[in-house]
Amino acid sequence: MTLLIGVAALAIDFGRLYVIRAELQSFTDAAALTAARDFDGTAASLDRAKADAQKLAEGPHAMRWDMGSQPIAHVTVSSSRDKNGRRLVHVYDAEPAPVIFLRLFEPFSSTMVAASSVATNGGQGVRLVQ
């Protein structure tokens, strides 16, 4: 019985972390697509891309995590080029997800959950690359 309760407790925490990761992945996908829409490789367009990604995390209709209860606060937007010369926009977010039962194995009350997405604005339009 003790083993069954222990497994159920860990399943609760891992399930919650999985849901939070899925929420953050949805945000980074949407933010990368939004940011790539206006990105043309210049510094000014990278600033616009960062602002576009941040708009999804702010305001009355902002995307949130932890079942919609926590604001997305740690967004990082960067750019690069791939080996074919395509301009890429990278969006990364990591949030401290609270844990309940995993505290028994680590002394912290939260663990970092991260997600990232890469999008490009090519000849066929905006699309996710990774």
Question: For the whole model, what pTM was predicted?
Answer: 0.86
Confidence band of 10 (pLDDT split at 50, 70, 90): confident
- Report d(CA 78, CA 47) in Å as an integer: 10
Average pLDDT of span 91-120: 86
At 91 the pLDDT is 94
* Residue 118 near residue 128, CB atoms below 8 Å: yes
Mean per-residue pLDDT of the chain: 87
Strands (DSSP E) found in the chain: 64-65, 70-71, 75-81, 87-98, 110-122, 125-128
Q: Report the percent of the chain where pLDDT is more than 70.
A: 98
On whether the CB atoms of residues 33 and 121 are closer than 8 A, the answer is: no
Single-letter amino acid code for the residue at 90: H
Angle between helices 43-55 and 2-37 (to 10 degrees): 140
Q: What is the pLDDT of residues 13-51, one digit of tens each?
A: 889 999 999 999 999 999 999 998 888 878 888 888 888
